[in-house]
Amino acid sequence: MDENVELDAWEIEYVSYGGEQHLPLVMNLVDQELSEPYSIFTYRYFVYLWPQLSFLVLPQLFHFQMVYGEHRNTFRGYIVMLVVIKPYRGRGIELVTRSIKVIMESGCEEVTLEAEVTNKGALALYGRLGFIRAKRLFHYYLNGVDAFRLKLLFPRSELHPSLPMMSDKYESHMQSDHGDAPFKE
Amino acid sequence: MAEDRSLPPRASIPSADNSVWADVSPLLQAACQDLQEGELIHGDNFNLFAAMSALEIMDPKMDSGIACTYYSLDEAIENGVAPVPISADKTTDVRCMIDIMDHLLACEATWHKGHSLAQTVYSCLYLLRPERTSSHALLHSYCKVIRATCKAILSVVSEARTHEEEDLFTMAYGLPLSGNGDEKCLSMLNAVEETISRQLRACKASSSKRRVSEDVEPLQNNPDLEEGYCKALLCRLRFRKHFYHLLMSMKRPQGRGLELARKHIASCISEIDYIRKSSEFLRANAHGMSEQNIDNTTASGCQPIGFDASLNCRLSAPTPPRSIKILSLEKALEYFMKLLQDLDVICSYSLDPSLEAALLFVIKFQKSQPDLVARAHLQLLLVQDGKLYGRDPMFSMITRAAGLPEVTENHDIQKNEFMVQLGQLVINLLKILCTNAAWQRRKLGKMLQDWRVTYVQLEMAFKGEFAEASKTSNNKKICFKIYQHILAWVEEQTYWIAFRFLNLGFELELYSVHDYCMVYWYIYVVLIKLAEKKHLRMAMSSDSAKKKTKKKRDSFKDGEMDYQIPAAVLFLQSQIYLAEGLSMMFAALRNERRIVPLQSPFNTEHEIFIQQFELLQKACVPDHISYVTFKESTMHANFSTLAICDHFKEAQKIAKEVKSSFANDPDTMAELRRVEQVAERNSIALNVCRAGALDPKLKTFFTFCHHPFYATAIVKRS
């Protein structure tokens, strides 16, 4: 496939994790692209507890998972895995952007992830979105490579009186959020 | 799948008295079919989070049992993987012995670089059964010294342990680190070395046609190769001997073995040179089995006998198998040269009973980026039994650093709980500074709050103790002075830690270009406080010294001497101007839209500021500093104003003036030179920016070619 071909938007479809039938697809993609080994229980941990925070882009183009939970009195979103098949590199930012919006709207205060210090593409992508490199982790990966821990802190609405739209959205979301509402397009 | 009935049935586990084995495969299959999609059957205590550490059988990345050669050490030995002798032919035996030595050295270097002992050094099957090699004196003695060396290094790294970097390094499950009599490895090694030395002398005598003075059995059967093989073995044995001696010398408490250690370091370096020189001979005699490959782990280029990395991998498998690439012999020798050089720097240190000198030494040492083993040795030298160098009590080091006279070293005040706590903080600081840069930065950031809390507690104790103005005794005055000096020093030290924390961010590449403005601004405010506290502390010390002097000179009745700003404070002043200049330059570039600001859809510069300086803000380092202060300082910066009050020119001027004060301090001189260079170039860049205000083709870039963390600006037409 010619990598220079501009893909039309309609060729990409974002879907939430839909159940067991997606698991082999996800596992296969991640195993191909990432150097770290993950057992099936790693995937089950995330998709069982937070199925609404896992996304696939069909057909078989992207996989993305994230979770959020309490972290030292902070609600933290965590990007676990992001895989983009080579022909579609460069389109990952849409998937990440979409996911971060969901994290933000669910009431998290921040998002975090780790990336290899040698992964220039990922570092540039997350850097453009406002992530800082909070820490460097010595020999974090099994292959001996260091990692950066990347973090994005969301604004607190009370600190931004000049952002009424954000504030309104945030407050209305908090009022309507019952915790179990599944993510819907 | 159809079962192959021709295969003999595998021996099953025999039934016990009251139980019988039954095949439940069909039952399991039926039960699984009844499960709903995504359903799991598990015990009450099961949780998916813990299960994430599970291995998965038949997955090549996780299952260490896949693609194995042998299932057990016994099986490998039975199949001749590690024969003793290595070969019945003596010449081949010697050649293979040298290959084993070389590969072990490569494995050792790979281990030091952060891989497991089991998959590196102990992939050598000869090490795993110590008694097996006893009939082969050379092999046996070499294995003994390898085990003893590994044990010694493990001991140092384990003792110096501060963080998880060492976890993999120090894992040694069930490996035989001590064989019988390994503690006498040197006497056996010496015996073998003596034998080979005599063999070398014998063959040299023989080659010069003179009569052999003694009846010495040759090393191997080919007279033409005798000299080459003897030399190749001797340099490797001698390296082992001196390296082990080096470790034992450095182990002696209070640095008493450092001088002897330096001699052994020199000997090791010499033997490495001989090892390199032996390569040509060994390659020439490899009988075509040699491959010309930069990744060779042996000098001969041959594959060594007796190694199987997958064996231990299977035996010690709570973690997924790592794909380890053993360093080449050349890379291993480079590693050991670096290690020896780093250890030599440590052994050359004067053990100056000064906290400031110790801190400066560690910082300087870390600039050469020493590996784990060298850093562990330094840490153990600095801190033993809670004392500096195992010799100088931490409280007396603190009083000295705070500029107090020696009589205060044994004062009772050191028993105060907060003084004890302060001593512990200093110990922790020294240890943390000896770790890798990534861990160092995290811990320095966190310990700022501890230093701040200790300062506040000492201050409260100080005020509480001197609230009663009625009592005035001589001891009271001494206590007052001690508190005053130590409080000033603690604050200074706190800002020193903050300064190092911020600098390490550059070394670790934690900052993006968009962060530089706020980072240099924060460095600027921290440096102001650091200079202020240092000045205060030095002034107090100076006052104390002056009073002493005055008593001796009562008869002269000198007038008050003109007080000069100390050179150390001026040095900081030049950096303050440099940091402020850089911060304002970045601000001007942003305000005049010559660099595109970061436009995140999710947050703003404010959140980035909060995140970057979170640990310093929590520790009130400094107090009353916030994002608002930062914005107020920088929002009006522009090039017209900056060129008028050129901070870079000021920095350059001070750096020039203060140089003469550091004539005896080459390190500070070098640092001043770097500051001067950056300041000079940035001043020029500043003027170019101002002059070219209307030229859209002018672009400003930043490089760290002159200084590790003060950027040099370069203006170019694009």
Quick check: is A68 in a domain? yes
Return the pLDDT at A161: 40
Q: How far is A37 from chain B (nearest CA, A)?
A: 6
Return the pLDDT at B524: 95
Q: How far is B260 from chain A (nearest CA, A)?
A: 34
Interchain CB contact of B604 with A (< 8 Å): yes
Cα gap A35→B676, rounded to integer Å: 46
| Chain B CB contacts of A128 below 8 Å | 598, 600
Q: What is the CA radius of gyration of chain B?
A: 33
- Same domain assignment for residues B427 and B496: yes
Q: What is the ipTM of this complex?
A: 0.81
Return the pLDDT at B177: 81
| Chain B CB contacts of A37 below 8 Å | 56, 59, 61-62, 320
Interchain CB contact of B510 with A (< 8 Å): yes
- Same domain assignment for residues B592 and B505: no
Say if the Cβ atoms of B510 and A142 lie within 8 Å: no
Quick check: is A185 in a domain? no
HSE-up of residue B487 (Cα within 13 Å, Cβ side): 14
Return the pLDDT at B316: 59
Say if the Cβ atoms of B602 and A154 lie within 8 Å: yes
Return the pLDDT at B640: 84
Q: Least CA distance to B164: which residue of chain A?
A: A138
Say if the Cβ atoms of B603 and A152 lie within 8 Å: yes
Percentage of chain A beyond pLDDT 90 is 6
What's the domain range around A70?
Answer: 13-153
- Same domain assignment for residues B369 and B333: no
Say if the Cβ atoms of A153 and B509 lie within 8 Å: no
Quick check: is B33 in a domain? no
Q: Least CA distance to B508: which residue of chain A?
A: A136
Which has the higher per-residue pLDDT, A121 or B61? A121
Residue B174: left (phi > 0), alpha (psi -120 to 50), or beta?
A: left
Of A100, A136, A151, which has the smallest distance from its Cβ to B438's Cβ?
Answer: A136
Cα gap B533→B523, rounded to integer Å: 15
> Strand pairing partners for A115?
A148
- Same domain assignment for residues B363 and B470: yes
- Same domain assignment for residues B499 and B533: no
Say if the Cβ atoms of A44 and B40 lie within 8 Å: yes
Q: Least CA distance to B61: which residue of chain A?
A: A37
Q: What total number of domains does chain A contain?
A: 1
Which of B468, B493, B510 is the last residue in one of the domains?
B510
First to last CA, chain B: 68
Q: How far is B588 from chain A (nearest CA, A)?
A: 22
Return the pLDDT at B286: 77
Q: Least CA distance to A128: which residue of chain B?
A: B600
H-helix or E-strand spanning residue A132: strand A132-137
Which residue of A142, A143, A169 to mutate against B (max B Cβ within 10 Å)?
Answer: A142
pLDDT category, A175, cuts 50, 70, 90?
very low
Quick check: is B13 in a domain? no
Residue B114: left (phi > 0), alpha (psi -120 to 50), or beta?
A: left
- Same domain assignment for residues B456 and B536: no
Say if the Cβ atoms of A148 and B510 lie within 8 Å: yes
Mean pLDDT of A114-121: 87
| Chain B CB contacts of A100 below 8 Å | 602
Mean pLDDT of A95-123: 82
Q: What total number of domains does chain B contain?
A: 3
| Chain A CB contacts of B604 below 8 Å | 155, 160
pLDDT category, A166, cuts 50, 70, 90?
very low
Quick check: is B27 in a domain? no
Say if the Cβ atoms of B510 and A48 lie within 8 Å: no
The per-residue pLDDT for range A125-155, each reduced to its tens digit, is: 889 889 998 989 988 887 788 999 898 898 8
What's the domain range around B487?
Answer: 352-510
Return the pLDDT at A113: 86
Q: Least CA distance to A141: which residue of chain B?
A: B322
| Chain A CB contacts of B603 below 8 Å | 130, 152-155
Quick check: is B35 in a domain? no
- Same domain assignment for residues B396 and B309: no
Q: How far is A128 from chain B (nearest CA, A)?
A: 6
Q: Least CA distance to A138: which residue of chain B?
A: B438
Which of B344, B360, B380 is the last residue in one of the domains?
B344
CATH number for the domain harbouring residue A90: 3.40.630.30
| Chain B CB contacts of A97 below 8 Å | 601
Say if the Cβ atoms of B62 and A39 lie within 8 Å: yes
| Chain B CB contacts of A38 below 8 Å | 52
What does the DSSP 8-state code read for residue B409? Answer: G
Of B84, B67, B82, B179, the residue nearest B136 (C-alpha): B84
Say if the Cβ atoms of B114 and A144 lie within 8 Å: yes
CB B457 within 8 A of CB B417: no
Quick check: is A100 in a domain? yes
Return the pLDDT at B289: 59
- Same domain assignment for residues B136 and B234: yes
Say if the Cβ atoms of A104 and B512 lie within 8 Å: no
- Same domain assignment for residues B506 and B523: no
Of B699, B514, B696, B519, the residue nearest B599 (C-alpha): B514
- Same domain assignment for residues B475 and B521: no
Quick check: is A31 in a domain? yes
Return the pLDDT at A52: 67
Lowest average pLDDT, out of A62-76, A114-128, B379-393, goes to A62-76
Cα gap B312→A89, rounded to integer Å: 40
Average pLDDT, consecutive stretches of 10 residues, N- to C-terminus, chain B (718 residues): 42 68 86 80 80 75 67 81 84 88 93 85 87 86 92 88 66 73 80 88 69 66 85 92 93 89 94 89 74 77 82 62 76 93 94 90 92 92 90 88 81 82 92 92 90 91 72 72 89 94 95 93 95 89 65 42 75 94 91 79 90 92 90 88 85 90 90 92 88 77 92 85
- Same domain assignment for residues B188 and B248: yes
H-helix or E-strand spanning residue B427: helix B417-433
Of B672, B682, B707, the residue nearest B574 (C-alpha): B672
Instruction: Tokens for A119, please give them.
Output: 């992964």
Which residue of B40, B42, B52, B628 to mutate against A (max A Cβ within 10 Å)?
Answer: B52
Which has the higher per-residue pLDDT, A40 or B193? B193
- Same domain assignment for residues B625 and B494: no
Quick check: is A61 in a domain? yes
Instruction: Tokens for B196, please give them.
Output: 């080979």
Q: How far is A2 from chain B (nearest CA, A)?
A: 31
Q: Measure Cα distances from A182 to A18, A50, A56, A177, B51 in Å.
A: 12, 10, 16, 10, 26
